[in-house]
Homo-oligomer: A and B are copies of this chain.
Amino acid sequence: MTQSDNHGPQSSIRDVALIVGGGPGISSSCARLFAKSGMGVSIVARNPDKPVLQTLEKTHGVRRYACDASDPAAVELLFQNVVRDLGAPTLVVHNIDGRVAGIFGKAITEAEPGMALETLRNSAFSAFLVGQQAARLMRENKPNANGAKGTIIFTNASAALKGFPSSGAFAMACHAKSGLAQSMARELMPQGIHVANVPIDAAIGWTQEDGTRAHRRAGATVDDNMADPDCIAEVYLQLHRQQRSTWAFEVALRPWTENW
């Protein structure tokens, strides 16, 4: 009801969302919210059979796809399959962090090069591949009621805003994703495609298997010092619905308690 009359989702074009990266946090929140909003929703993971994604299928009709998003041929095929099953996507979210576990908190002198490269591939290169396929399809879409042919959103991290010590590989990957997003925004916005970069400057909460939320860091005295992924999903939907005279490119989100 806060949506004024001329900015709403009244378009007769059915929104099709593709969420690349599938876990219990932002991806699940997006899938649920987008489905509730009437979109056809697809979600992608290396292993699409994990329980959390099966649940999304059952409860919200979300389609699951298997894909290694750092493999060019696999990403091309993925988009073909989504088009075949749901139609051309109008909202694509790249939601892959990409860090190999062994790279966390490693000094530059200790970080294993293979893991650094893997992190770059998982994060930035897969963003490139996904962004490329999305752009190819979206430019053929008709503009919706807000003048947009589609929206591409890159989830990013605080390492995109600042290169922290003992985090060289991740800083590299996150900055790369920001650079890509910026270039794509300048290139695609005049073609009617909205590109956004959303660095989440926080730990992200998630919904536990028993349905309870876990949004409190160990030792914290408040229960909302981790970002609530349901709220992040809402920002993504708002970005998708922005009228093209007033597009936001970058929106960093952080909890009220964050030190930045």
Interfacial residues, chain A to chain B (CB-CB below 8 A): 1-4, 6-7, 9, 33, 36-37, 72, 107-109, 111, 113-114, 116-117, 120-121, 124-125, 128-129, 131-132, 135-136, 139, 147-148, 159-160, 162-169, 171-190, 192, 194, 200, 202, 205, 215, 224-228, 230-232, 234-235, 237-238, 241-258, 260
Interchain CB contact (< 8 A) of A247 among B113, B243, B254:
B254
Given contacts A176-B175, A183-B163, contact A228 B245 (CB under 8 A): yes
Top 7 A-B pairs, shortest CB-CB distance: A175-B179, A163-B182, A163-B183, A165-B187, A171-B179, A176-B176, A171-B183
For the complex, give the distance between the alpha carbons of A163 and B186 in Å: 8
Query: With a CB–CB cut-off of 8 A, which chain B residues contact A171?
Result: 179-180, 182-183
Query: With a CB–CB cut-off of 8 A, which chain B residues contact A248?
Result: 235, 251-253
Interchain CB contact (< 8 A) of A224 among B3, B113, B243:
B243
Instruction: Tell me how many chains of this kind the complex includes.
Output: 4
Q: How far in angstroms is the closest Cβ of chain B from A166?
A: 6
Contact (Cβ within 8 A) B128 A169? yes
Query: With a CB–CB cut-off of 8 A, which chain B residues contact A242?
Result: 231, 235
Query: With a CB–CB cut-off of 8 A, which chain B residues contact A256?
Result: 147-148, 189-190, 192, 194, 244-245, 247
Task: Name A201's closest neighbour in chain B (CB-CB).
Answer: B249
Interchain CB contact (< 8 A) of A2 among B107, B187, B234:
B234
Contact (Cβ within 8 A) A7 B234? yes
Given contacts A189-B256, A228-B246, A230-B4, contact A183 B205 (CB under 8 A): no
Query: With a CB–CB cut-off of 8 A, which chain B residues contact A162?
Result: 182
For the complex, give the distance between the alpha carbons of A248 and B196 in Å: 14
Query: With a CB–CB cut-off of 8 A, which chain B residues contact A159?
Result: 179, 183
Contact (Cβ within 8 A) A252 B254? no
For the complex, give the distance between the alpha carbons of A135 and B180 in Å: 28
Q: How far in angstroms is the closest Cβ of chain B from A89?
A: 15
Interchain CB contact (< 8 A) of A165 among B72, B117, B172, B183:
B183
Contact (Cβ within 8 A) A176 B120? yes
Query: With a CB–CB cut-off of 8 A, which chain B residues contact A7?
Result: 230-231, 234
